[in-house]
Amino acid sequence: MLTRAESYEALRASFRWRVPARYNIGVDACDKWAEREPGRLALIHRRADGRAEEISFLELKRRSNRLANVLAARGVEPGDRVGVLLPQAPETAVAHLAIYKLGAIAVPLFTLFGPEALEFRLADSGAKALITDAEGLVKLIEIRPRLPNLSLVLSRDGPDEGALGLAREVQEASDAFTPRDTAADDPALIIYTSGTTGPPKGALHAHRVLLGHLPGVELPQEFLPQPGDLFWTPADWAWIGGLLDVLLPSLHHGVPVLAYRFPKFDPEEAFAIMAEFGVRNAFMPPTALKLMRRVERPDARWNYGLRSIGSGGETLGEELLDWGRATFGLTVNEFYGQTECNLVVSNCAGLMPVKPGAMGRPVPGHEVAVVDPAGQPLAAHDIGQIAVRAPDPVMFLRYWNNPEATERKFAGDWLLTGDMGMRDSDGYLHFVGRDDDVITSAGYRIGPGEVEDCLLKHPAVALAAVVGVPDPLRTERVKAYLVLQEGQAESDALAAEIQAFVKARLAAHEYPREVAFVDSLPMTATGKIMRKELRARG
């Protein structure tokens, strides 16, 4: 949707949304290209045994049509919810496209979810069908009796435990299917997001959500698509970052996507994979970049050649930006969004200066502000809640089965993200932290991101997380949990050195008054630090 311009201001001024009244994600991301260029490469699947399978858009259309016919024949109707419990693999993309073309609603599910997490999401969504594998079936055994709506289970590993074999069912189906004529505002998928309180909430998105994502993908990826582009992310396609930041926008643009499942993220293998397949574009969560930063001399070991890297989920600091330039010869572009309203702020080094600690400026097409509790925009440099003005094509329709939470999400026309931030005088937005992550110490409000960035500049520190813990004098004191670089030994002397390092570079009220050395940090499946768990440790 973006057209190159000489400046951010010109790009924003010239931008116009182009969202048709009738629109279907499956048709746009697959059938469109199958008709125009049948042999065009859509997916490269790097198998566990090292072999690579290439899948064209025509083959993707045929497979998704067959699956859509299977689902329809087995009683899945438009509006029904269909769970997808699979890793990065061709079957995952096929499942999503089939569900969208059928007019049903996809419910992406993370493969590392336990039975309890799966039960809640399948029960809350009222899923009629589930597409999974042998690993998923093991988790399903104990919960299926409590899922009365779940009438169909398909397994890519063959029939077992009450599941039909996906391959057999698809093989016997026709590859001719007429996609449902959906409106752009018709529901397409439910992505569950875990808030700071209460059970997960299902963010219901319309088909237009893909079009709404496009500017926010194109900007940090330096105006995707460009000739030779090939996209990859280690983020699972069950999350909005993998599905709507990478897979579906790439297919919309006809850019091939590398599908490869990491059993556990391996930073050396990440470099190797990008070199082997000639990856040109990547979405790398900050935690992945921090782990890759620990790899010595990657440029001397692998011949990779990326054109663009986007990152989001945690604030990038100066240390990571400098490392990215030295390692890849490019500036990693930070972006911002959340499941309910994604990719609304971004950097683009080719268009505007990137400020360390700033997550960028509003992506063209989105109105983003920092507001007070009543939803009134604040002046520059005032800390408040980051908000996005409705209506917006990328914004969710509502929370599934939760009208009260939907109502609380808005203050007038503003969708409240729950994230605290600040807008500087140049219009850049700075992430301060989740509302409950902000530390109040001796009357100061301290965002953990700035302190963590400073800690990472110390040569002994590999990973850092900062939280506030109760303090009778200051209300809260700053506590740092640190993972050390290999070869570094924890000691009181090192802790004091690190404290002095931060104190000299930031401010006396911001340095960690307490330091804890740990082997690892608790993180979500998408690589975000679970500060709530660290606060509970005290």
Taking the chain (538 residues) in consecutive chunks of 10 residues, what is each chunk's mean pLDDT?
Answer: 94 97 98 98 94 97 98 98 97 98 97 88 97 96 96 97 96 98 98 70 97 98 98 94 97 98 89 98 91 94 98 86 97 96 98 95 98 95 96 98 96 94 96 77 75 91 93 86 95 96 83 95 80 88
Please name the helix (run of DSSP H) or strand (run of DSSP E) that holds residue 276, with its range, or none.
helix 267-277
**Residue 72 to residue 142: CA distance in whole angstroms:** 27
Res 69: pLDDT: 98
* Tokens 């059970």 -> residue: 199
Is residue 212 helix, strand or coil? helix
Q: What is the CA radius of gyration of the chain?
A: 23
**Residue 509 to residue 5: CA distance in whole angstroms:** 43
Res 196: pLDDT: 44
414 beta partners = 389, 411
Res 442: pLDDT: 72
Q: Which two tokens stand for residue 169?
A: 């069912």
- What are the distances in angstroms from CA 264 to CA 71, 269, 522? 32, 10, 15
Please name the helix (run of DSSP H) or strand (run of DSSP E) that holds residue 407, with its range, or none.
helix 403-408
Read off the amino acid at residue 44: I
What domains can be seen in the chain, in order of their start residue? Answer: 24-33+56-182 (3.40.50.980), 436-537 (3.30.300.30)
Q: Which two tokens stand for residue 225?
A: 């698509």
**Residue 164 to residue 151: CA distance in whole angstroms:** 11
The conformation of residue 19, written as its DSSP 8-state character, comes to: -
- 233-244: buried (b, 16+ CB within 10 Å) or exposed (e) per residue? bbbbbbbbbbbb
| Angle 303-309-315 from CA coordinates, rounded to 5° | 130
**Residue 507 to residue 38: CA distance in whole angstroms:** 60
Q: Which two tokens stand for residue 396?
A: 């969710």
**Residue 109 to residue 130: CA distance in whole angstroms:** 10
**Residue 153 to residue 131: CA distance in whole angstroms:** 6
**Residue 479 to residue 469: CA distance in whole angstroms:** 7
Read off the amino acid at residue 319: E
Using omega within 30 degrees of 0 as the cis cutoff, is the peptide bond preceding 391 cis? yes
The conformation of residue 6, written as its DSSP 8-state character, comes to: S
φ, ψ of residue 387 in degrees (nearest 5): -140, 155
CB atoms within 10 A of CB 421: 25
CB atoms within 10 A of CB 245: 26
**Residue 260 to residue 499: CA distance in whole angstroms:** 41
Beta-carbon contacts of residue 38 (< 8 Å; ≥ 6 apart): 56, 57, 58
